[in-house]
Structure 1
């Protein structure tokens, strides 16, 4: 997307250019968005007809962005010249039920300066799926002529769903009277090419779009030596009504909210300051992505494209963060259970027991133009739901949660066997029934993410390797739920899992390659392509022990391991493209699951190698923020290369933010069993970590403080404190 600034709070977010503007040149996915609708598509600030010169702009703190400018040369009436860099200009903004922005000036000249301030506003009220180019409509929302009332202007439009959407722009203070000019202009609007996912290989185009534009202008006198400022409120109508509160008080409250968020979960410290900053970045990015819901804090998938709940993303992000914030998993589980499928609906791909893929709340979903109300076209969200439920109970020891959601887990198992396995061959495969559905329904859901040995796209129905592994883990998880609740049938599901593992290791294994085929095609032939999907099989535990090392060694060869982490596809496969969305890029969350899988099979050094490479990549990105994905070019140490950004990557993004937190658990080898008040540890610190302390780690009814040290290549564990009852076991301990 290029350089942008993002702030978000609850269900409102703003993406602007580096100057803080939403430009009229049709910047893709910039704007003020609320519930899948763009409530501000034009916002430009200038003085004396010129844009100020940006000195620095940052949204590092998530809840607020800060921009600092200098004036260009200003020619004033009467012939006086204001030299460049003699008037400081700043913009501070945050979201708190509305967008609040303070624009300030400090005149460093020895004489007063009067500047003409101009602000331009406009709103196209386009649905996010239109902004993405997924849907093109001949009749956009019908724009209403802006309403000017004193120091406030209201923009509006009526959608085809009959809903009137409005944006109120109010000057809250300032010693001036704004003059408003209203006109209708034909402005370019950027649209992405129609695709299920953002595709950087097909650049955005612009289309002309008629829009009402409001220009507010006024003279502002700047006396020498003291600040002058004014404050704006931009409020999407229908959003949470902001209470009356001074600007500074709102900022302090948001800052306290973030500090409280960091203080509520497990505290992590290491002797590597950059790693500590990466962990903190992950936690605050998750806070940015939170929506407050009746189910608890729910994590949106990513900004800008996916600022809504996704089933798969929720499940994986919640799993990644259990060590730090189990409440995120509880909220995700209750939300997913609430929307679990109840009927067969071809348009939305809904089926009884199926877990949703994506829930949208904009005009197009309300009209039924898109099926995301919610849409259920995910082949893996359903087994992942069962896995997450069991893992959450292992961490929390909360068998009450297991009982609460047991019927949902049962319906999910029934979906796997009745609807997931479409042809009764014992494997789960996908094939959409919806004319608007997603063609590929695994986590690699772009237009052609599954390639055969010759680089040709494989057409559905497809049985993905990792999905069979998830089903295996879901059977094991369901058996645990049965045991915890004292219900019969656990042995039967463990036997199903064992039989699935036996068949999978026979049917998917590529003997002469040392890896698992990425999938079975429609004719049940193995797709003998090496992709990162095989690594997820380690995470799920379906891989025979005598094949785990062989698979690990194959994954860590240079065609897969880029120097910045594992690629999604081997560079030896025809069709590999390091700049593609799924066919050669590097996804941090993908690496987090594979690293956890390597650790599961006792391959700690291999896991640490993957973690170290992704950590190296993270240090090159702004704010230490891992993006959704980045390009899979090979690291060239001769020329000090850096990972290349994928142009349309979401950032911040949920499971990218969860990656570092998952890495912490992998490094420390933490395996909780809160139901039985037990904790197994098998730590192996990488060479760049010498000491780690974990405080307030909650497992079952206990809370622990632990220290880990690496000395002469060996990691030791020290228990600093226990509040509650728990049996801790680690290599070398008396009970291990």
Structure 2
């Protein structure tokens, strides 16, 4: 019963076991969650005191699931005389219909019990196994159980109502039912999650979409989003399946901000159902050629929450783009600095990159002009607060050693940045990809300044700084005897010399000297980094390598999509195609849904990709991966008022056709065909 089943609609989601049951857990968050609080931690169904077992599960839709259950273990020799169907949906509230079916020819009596409880745990309390400081009180009314939590002015409630009469107590509901021959009994349960504001109002009810949405409304919204995306026709079934699944997941991951009432993309279920800086920026870059209207709210929201002061607790600095925004109890009481938290060194240059890329695709010059001050502030941050040691590089070290993140690059786990022998360096650190992002941001900022801000002198200055950074970087980060770039520089300027996937991000940024690009590509596709399913986060001969270590040996689909894009930019089309092919091959084993990460085992060893045990699924930048791979394979690149299409489809993939690609040019079509082994010409 370890496999989990989830349903979600925006920031409300439910994770259960394969019976539909929820039991308190801190190893992996099962329960009903909304805006960082677990509203239901126990939801356990028994029939005549027996736990139920799943015959089948219908979970084709992201917001609805049906469980077909029987008591006891099914056998070949004894047919079940009774079965239970749990039909559940989510849309702000959580609805479950329970149907008990009597399969015998005689009237039968049953006792159906639903144990219900809530710990109102904050997600950070689950992660760090902390005890609650407030108090939960149950209130029983006719056909209703209300679980209320309060800690000073922080108040949350779960209200569970049933349509069928039952015996309600403080820990659940009991139904004593009588069913005729071949008859059935049904009740509908609705669980409302209530978030109280400072004035005692239900905040959810004040949002434009309100506290509850019907299945029909969710279905219509998701269908509308998918209808706006380009239409894919292809011979490669894994590509077709991954594309459709990605669009469905991106639609499901949209949520309504509790503070501003705009629709944003959450980073991933279950840990990251909120706005993230880097995740949202990378996901926006991935989806931009397909669904550009998803990107605009993210840019505006991140600009609006840009740092404007020095705040050590939140790692906030003027010009800095946030890392993570949370709404839960620990953020509200400042036990965690996530209201919002600014502990990432990459989100700020990536913000400039996204704004420029967004304008190149959409032609939305008005937004570029409107965000001039915020973009200049982000560029200023790179050279001021970002350059902690005054060396011309972007460094990071948390201002908050108690609760701040030590590593503030995309590999932000504690052991992710290491020397090749496994030792961990001191802080501050300047990881290699941060310098690439800064280089790219300066060039893109220069373009915006010259074209839209009427400031050619500023543009010239940014271009000079970018050129100097590229020269300096290729001198200081290159390890000549190993022919790759160091993962980072330590505080003494020494190489943190592990071989990692970060070097692929350097190709994407353009900071790699042309004479060294081929060596970087060889490492990325060589046996130390490339598992056959994708590029590992850390090479398999490094001291900290672990094929199931979060950032020290696993394969991340998002990471591979950026690497493929970088290889494509430097003309390594075949190598980029190998990564595209491996990612799509892996997606077949996950029903088209690429997880956050999977194990870095050799392909020949396992014959299938092994999922990382606590990987988020769905996750936004994994859902965006097939979209970016499509862009790479079809060679899509905006150029003025036109879209350049230069396909290089991997061998054996056949025809790939993408219709109605949106952009400043209107909508255009792209077609590519893979080469046969005997054909030296590219598809067109």
Using the size of structure 2 for normalisation, the TM-score is 0.93
Is the CA contact 2:256–2:264 (under 8 Å) kept in the aligned structure 1? Answer: yes
Residue aligned with 2:682, SS: strand
Change (3 A) 1:431 1:73: closer
Change (3 A) 1:469 1:636: same
Which among 146, 154, 158 is matched to residue 150 of structure 2? 158
CA separation in 2, counterparts of 1:124 and 1:275? 42
CA separation in 2, counterparts of 1:26 and 1:672? 47
Alpha-carbon displacement from aligned partner over 1:479-532 (angstroms, at most 9, x marks no partner): 111122133222221221111111111111111212111011110112222101
Residue aligned with 1:240, SS: helix
Aligned to 2:405: 438
Matched, 1:98 2:93: yes
CA separation in 1, counterparts of 2:24 and 2:569? 52
Q: CA RMSD in A?
A: 2.1
What is the CA distance between 1:665 and its match in structure 2?
A: 0.4
Equivalences for residues 144-223 of structure 1 within 5 A: 144=137, 146-159=138-151, 161-171=152-162, 173-174=163-164, 177-182=165-170, 214-223=171-180
Residue aligned with 1:379, SS: coil
Which among 546, 566, 581 is matched to residue 550 of structure 2? 581
Matched, 1:23 2:15: no
CA separation in 2, counterparts of 1:258 and 1:233? 23
CA separation in 2, counterparts of 1:100 and 1:311? 32
Is the CA contact 2:146–2:157 (under 8 Å) kept in the aligned structure 1? Answer: yes
Residue aligned with 2:324, SS: coil
Is the CA contact 1:305–1:650 (under 8 Å) kept in the aligned structure 2? Answer: yes
Is the CA contact 1:42–1:120 (under 8 Å) kept in the aligned structure 2? Answer: yes
Q: Which moved more, 1:311-320 or 1:112-121?
A: 112-121
What is the CA distance between 1:572 and its match in structure 2?
A: 1.0
Which among 107, 116, 122 is matched to residue 121 of structure 1? 116
Matched, 1:627 2:622: no
CA separation in 2, counterparts of 1:599 and 1:531? 19
Q: Which moved more, 1:292-301 or 1:480-489?
A: 292-301
Residue aligned with 1:52, SS: strand
CA separation in 2, counterparts of 1:487 and 1:409? 13
Residue aligned with 2:674, SS: strand
What is the CA distance between 1:716 and its match in structure 2?
A: 3.1
Residue aligned with 1:553, SS: helix
What is the CA distance between 1:249 and its match in structure 2?
A: 9.9
Gaps of 5+ in 1: 75-81, 183-213, 718-736
CA separation in 1, counterparts of 2:473 and 2:206? 55
Q: Which moved more, 1:653-662 or 1:491-500?
A: 491-500
Q: Which moved more, 1:280-289 or 1:214-223?
A: 214-223
Aligned to 1:381: 347
Equivalences for residues 122-521 of structure 1 within 5 A: 122-133=117-128, 136-137=130-131, 140-144=133-137, 146-159=138-151, 161-171=152-162, 173-174=163-164, 177-182=165-170, 214-238=171-195, 240-241=204-205, 250-293=214-257, 294=260, 296-434=262-400, 435-485=402-452, 486-488=454-456, 489-521=458-490
CA separation in 1, counterparts of 2:241 and 2:180? 41
What is the CA distance between 1:105 and its match in structure 2?
A: 2.9
Aligned to 2:511: 542
List structure 1 segments (4+ residues) > 6 angstroms apart after TM superposition: none
Matched, 1:716 2:683: yes
Change (3 A) 1:710 1:492: same
Alpha-carbon displacement from aligned partner over 1:338-394 (angstroms, at most 9, x marks no partner): 100000011111000000011111111111111111110101000000000000001
Is the CA contact 1:329–1:388 (under 8 Å) kept in the aligned structure 2? Answer: no
Is the CA contact 1:380–1:442 (under 8 Å) kept in the aligned structure 2? Answer: yes
Is the CA contact 2:93–2:193 (under 8 Å) kept in the aligned structure 1? Answer: yes
Equivalences for residues 522-537 of structure 1 within 5 A: 522-537=491-506
Change (3 A) 1:28 1:554: closer
What is the CA distance between 1:3 and its match in structure 2?
A: 1.4
Q: Which moved more, 1:323-332 or 1:356-365?
A: 323-332
Change (3 A) 1:484 1:575: same
Matched, 1:694 2:666: no
Q: Which moved more, 1:605-614 or 1:628-637?
A: 628-637
Gaps of 5+ in 2: 196-202
CA separation in 2, counterparts of 1:318 and 1:180? 47
CA separation in 1, counterparts of 2:61 and 2:243? 14
What is the CA distance between 1:241 and its match in structure 2?
A: 4.5
Change (3 A) 1:408 1:38: same
Is the CA contact 1:106–1:224 (under 8 Å) kept in the aligned structure 2? Answer: no
What is the CA distance between 1:223 and its match in structure 2?
A: 2.9
What is the CA distance between 1:602 and its match in structure 2?
A: 0.8
Change (3 A) 1:551 1:591: same
Is the CA contact 2:636–2:644 (under 8 Å) kept in the aligned structure 1? Answer: yes
Q: Which moved more, 1:82-91 or 1:310-319?
A: 82-91
What is the CA distance between 1:335 and its match in structure 2?
A: 0.8
Residue aligned with 2:50, SS: coil
Count of paired positions: 663
Is the CA contact 2:53–2:73 (under 8 Å) kept in the aligned structure 1? Answer: no
Using the size of structure 1 for normalisation, the TM-score is 0.87
Is the CA contact 1:125–1:141 (under 8 Å) kept in the aligned structure 2? Answer: no
CA separation in 2, counterparts of 1:61 and 1:136? 34
What is the CA distance between 1:65 and its match in structure 2?
A: 1.6
Change (3 A) 1:152 1:537: same
Residue aligned with 2:226, SS: helix
What is the CA distance between 1:641 and its match in structure 2?
A: 2.5
Alpha-carbon displacement from aligned partner over 1:240-296 (angstroms, at most 9, x marks no partner): 3499xxxx9933332222211210222222122221111111111111211124474
Alpha-carbon displacement from aligned partner over 1:607-650 (angstroms, at most 9, x marks no partner): 011111122222112x321111111111126xx53222211111
Equivalences for residues 561-600 of structure 1 within 5 A: 561-600=530-569
